[in-house]
Structures are given as C-alpha cells and as structure tokens.
Structure 1
Amino acid sequence: MSRPLVSSPLAGNSSATHTQTTAQRVIPRRNPAFTSSRALRPFPSIAQSIQPSAGNKKAVKIIEAPKNQKTMFMLDLTQAEFSRQDVN
C-alpha cells in the first residue's frame, strides 16, 4: 500500500513531485514601498526631562541604536510596559 501525497512541510520528502515543488518555491522579498525604520527619538512631552538640571543628576536613558549599526531590533514590550515611568 502506498502513502497518499500530502502537501505539508511536515510530511516527509518521499515523493519526487514534492521535492520539485519545494525547489521552485519563491522566496518573498521586502516591499520597497515601505520606508526603513528610524531610530527612536524622545517624544516632545519628555524632551525637557532629558536635559539635566542642577537638582536632578540622574540620567535619562534613551533607546537608540548605534549610528554605525544598520540593523533592526524588536522591543518585546506592551504599550503599558513601554510607557511605564519609574518613581523613586
């Protein structure tokens, strides 16, 4: 008894037709209509808090990739976690 032809990536490569369709698969490419990502900049509402004052010596950390690094990174944060402010 022969096995039925299954079109699943989890099925074995037992049939020759499955191997041929896998070899002809087109790799998707990024749409050039989308612009590339920009570095994160401070929002206007917190811009004044970045400037160090005489009484406040604690530095504000800004997430920004190095200028010579042309990669992307993903923040695995919810909106609530991203907007959380630490209170001393």
Structure 2
Amino acid sequence: MSASRPAVSSPLAGPSSTSSGSASTRMTPQRTYSFPPSRALRPFPTISSAGTAPKKPVKMIQPPANQRETFVLNLTQAEFSRQQ
C-alpha cells in the first residue's frame, strides 16, 4: 500500500507523478511596483565632508576624586540618552 502525495502548487516542490506538467509551464504574472526602486542613502554630503572637521571629545562619566560614593551627573536628558 503506497501513500499518494498531495498535489502541491509550489515550483519548489519538484515534479510530481500526479501532476500533468502544467505547473512547470505556467507563466507567473509580472509585478507592478507602486514605488520606484530604492537607491543607496549614503554617502550623505555631511558625512563625506566630516573627515576634515576635528571630532568632538567624548564625555566620560567619572566620579569626582573626593566623592567616590555619590555624585551628580551634569548632563541634560538629550546628552544622557545620546549613543554614539
């Protein structure tokens, strides 16, 4: 007793003994896209000219020498959340 395979409409399924071969000759419709094809976003003009400007120093968070236990960060919310 042999189990029959179900008919699969995927082109990746391979040839089947029950299909009449119409799946391999079927034409796929051409897609029409709503948006034009994307293009590369880089290099931005600001990035290409950024190599000539000196870099800003990185702020390091370090406690004062006289207060190792507690200290106040002198940063705004924007400075604190910025990741570079």
Query: Under a length normalisation based on structure 1, what TM-score does the superposition of the two structures give?
Result: 0.34
Specify the structure having the higher radius of gyration (Cα): 2
